[in-house]
Amino acid sequence: MPEADTFPIIPREALFGNPTRAQGKISPDGKWLSWLAPYEGVLNIWLAPADDPASARAMTKATARPIRQHFWPGDAKSLLYVQDKDGDENFLLYRIDLETGEETTLTPFEHTRVQIVGASETIKDRILVGLNHRDPQFHDVYRLDLNTGDLTLVYENHSFAGFMADDTLTLRMAMRQNEAGGTDYFRFDDGRVEDEPFETTAMEDSLTTTPAGYTTDGSVLYWLDSRGRNTAALYAQDTATGARTLVAQDDKADIGGTIRDQETGKVQAYSVEYLTTEWTAIDPAIRAALEWLGDRLEGEFGISSRTDDDRTWIVWNDPLTAPVRTFIFDRDAETLEEFYVSRPELEGAPLRPMHPLEIASRDGLTLPSYLTLPPGSDGTHSGRPDSPLPTVLLVHGGPWARDSFGFDAVHQMLANRGYAVLSVNFRGSTGFGKDFINAGNKQWGLKMHDDLIDAVEWAIDQGIAERDKVAIMGGSYGGYATLAGLAFTPDVFACGVDIVGPSNLETLLSTIPPYWAPMVKIFHERMGNPDTEEGLALLRAASPLHKAESIAKPLLIAQGANDPRVKQAESDQIVGAMKQAGIPVTYVLYPDEGHGFARPENSIAFFALAENFLAQCLGGRAEPLGDVLEPSTTQIVEGEEHVKGLASVPG
């Protein structure tokens, strides 16, 4: 690949290390700016006066696991964040007092996962939270005083999967799966759940229909709803009469996000994401603001934070072939002040555009997909390489999720190393209507896998991919797809990289987190019910573990030891089966991670292994391993000899 070799290698650390800054926000009163940035090498929360951003100070001192999510309460007297322990996903809620800097654990319970049930525009010092410390399956609802830490029980829950409150922090709705695998929605009456649901969905609508919040006065309940149609439309329901009004719809994709009026809660704009995201404004002032921003920002952009008076926005901008930038937008002055660049080390790097496209499946479905090509490979700028390339099929997780358009660090690394990178929204992916999702029901390892094979054949037919140099890679469901690809279709792929992928669907379903139990029917109806003979046979047939002896190509497996969704046993099982069959495999374990990588040291180390593994398999280039493993907790359990240069690396 002489063309790619003439372009500089983008260092792994620039793509997977700590950002310089991230998650910028403005306080509701407009007085403060906050963001995440490294403090002694670990992402922490920083704070600065809005009129003096240079006088920033670190508000937290996390030393091991990065803080990845923070937010402002309505009264702007504190900062809030959630954190788990080594990837166990038992997130607790923490508060930092702005005046004193004192940190408090607001939910000081072991083996507990906090949920935010409700927040308010008018009651700014309290929120509703769900806590499952009494029963790990069910979240009880508490009113939390953010300044005193007092927790008051609002509702003890013994059967419901979720709740919704209005702006008075009064519970208005409870949700529970029904026998059909859909959802029943129940009203509250004077603190008690009514016996009969006021709305219900069948299984076919369960992933495309959901309540989307009340207006501030509680008179309107918004719904994203696919009942009686294919794509999810936005409806406004009069809570007094039950009458519904269609607000927005799209034939190709579900309605996605909304912008709401800060005071009234009414929808001002909505988004639709098919291949790319498009915003449509209902409110004239919001339309003017979005158009003003669109004239000045290239690529994708969106609002990440707003002041209560809605005059100042924090706006992110993804230029696609340059690092993501964040701006402070003064709507009255019509000024756009740069807040920060997330990864300034990527300035001038040979970042590649992502090409949105459509691929036809063998049975006539349209698969929205994304292709990134190596630098120097597309002399005509047509989105097709001058000659076929080694290719990586990068499969998203979920599977009830989707790939999207925009900057993607893995796409950029792989393209920079000389590979075409293809991501496919296979059937079962979300965002494209219920018919597309439901076409994937009970099709793990079957038609869902056929879609991936069809995408590979398309790439070969289009002159994009070399037939004997296609790798498959992904996390979670994408890891499962990798295992399935090598076990079920061993002649298609040259090698595979599996990150926290399940190998045995039977044991996967028997070890789900307890708080998923109220939603277990979604797995039974969409994967197979292990309590029935037919369902159990389906799950076993779709499990790569039972065809491990068919794996004939190199395989790299990464697993977090504390993963609550895909337990370590999922990787241990297939590694053991491959060893027993005498099949080589490389297995790396991370004792302080869960369902993916949170610590950048581990992320950098893993992608170092992955790129050198792919270089050995596909012939692309790779940044040498060096001492990349030393700062990480990487444990090479099996097969160091199958990764280029690993046997000679310390650590």
Q: What is the pLDDT of residues 548-606, one digit of tens each?
A: 999 999 999 999 999 999 999 999 999 999 999 999 999 999 999 999 999 999 999 99
Say if CB 504 and CB 527 are below 8 A apart.
no
N- to C-terminal Cα distance for the chain? 32
pLDDT at position 470: 98
pLDDT at position 641: 87
User: Is 159 exposed, middle or buried, given 0-12, 13-18 or 19+ CB atoms closer than 10 A?
Assistant: exposed
Q: What percent of the chain has pLDDT over 70?
A: 99
Closest residue by Cα to residue 491 from 517, 472, 477, 474: 472
pLDDT at 1 over 50: no
Alpha helices in 185-306 (DSSP H): 284-296
Say if CB 425 and CB 401 are below 8 A apart.
no
With a CB cutoff of 8 Å and minimum separation 6, the contacts of 312 are 26, 30, 50, 306, 328, 329, 330, 331
Q: State the catalytic residue, choosing from 476, 503, 543, 603.
A: 476
Taking only the tens place, the pLDDT of each residue in 481-495 is: 999 999 999 999 999
With a CB cutoff of 8 Å and minimum separation 6, the contacts of 251 are 231
Closest residue by Cα to residue 573 from 642, 504, 477: 504
pLDDT at 240 over 90: yes
How many Å apart are CA 560 and CA 596, to the nearest integer?
A: 7
CA atoms within 13 A on the CB side of 490: 11
Closest residue by Cα to residue 35 from 60, 65, 62: 60
pLDDT at 2 over 90: no
Closest residue by Cα to residue 497 from 643, 649, 398: 643
Question: Strands, DSSP E only, in 361-443?
Answer: 366-372, 389-395, 420-424
Taking phi first (over 0 means left), then psi (-120 to 50 degrees means alpha), and beta for anything else, what does residue 209 get? beta
Q: Tell me, yes or no, if 563 is annotated catalytic.
A: yes
Q: State the catalytic residue, choosing from 543, 595, 603, 642.
A: 595
pLDDT tier at 651, thresholds 50, 70, 90: low
With a CB cutoff of 8 Å and minimum separation 6, the contacts of 228 are none
Bond from prior residue into 399 cis (ω within 30 degrees of 0): yes
Closest residue by Cα to residue 493 from 537, 567, 556: 556
Say if CB 18 and CB 68 are below 8 A apart.
no
The 8 Å CB, 24+ separation contacts for 446-449 are 446/542, 447/361, 447/363, 448/399, 448/481, 449/481, 449/484, 449/485, 449/488, 449/489
Give me the count of residues in the chain. Answer: 651
Say if CB 397 and CB 474 are below 8 A apart.
yes
CA atoms within 13 A on the CB side of 158: 2
Say if CB 58 and CB 44 are below 8 A apart.
yes
Q: What percent of the chain has pLDDT over 90?
A: 95
Running DSSP on this structure, what letter comes out for residue 263?
A: T
495-to-325, 492, 546, 620 alpha-carbon distances in Å: 36, 9, 19, 13
How many Å apart are CA 339 and CA 325, to the nearest integer?
A: 8
Q: Tell me, yes or no, if 595 is annotated catalytic.
A: yes
Q: Tell me, yes or no, if 386 is annotated catalytic.
A: no
Say if CB 401 and CB 474 are below 8 A apart.
no
Average pLDDT along the chain: 96
Tokens of 281: 């404004």
Mean pLDDT in residue range 170-174: 97
The side-by-side arrangement of strands in the sheet containing 277-281 is 255-260, 267-273, 277-281
pLDDT at 643 over 90: no
How many Å apart are CA 293 and CA 271, to the nearest integer?
A: 16
Q: State the catalytic residue, choosing from 563, 571, 592, 632.
A: 563
Global pTM reads 0.96
Say if CB 455 and CB 359 are below 8 A apart.
yes
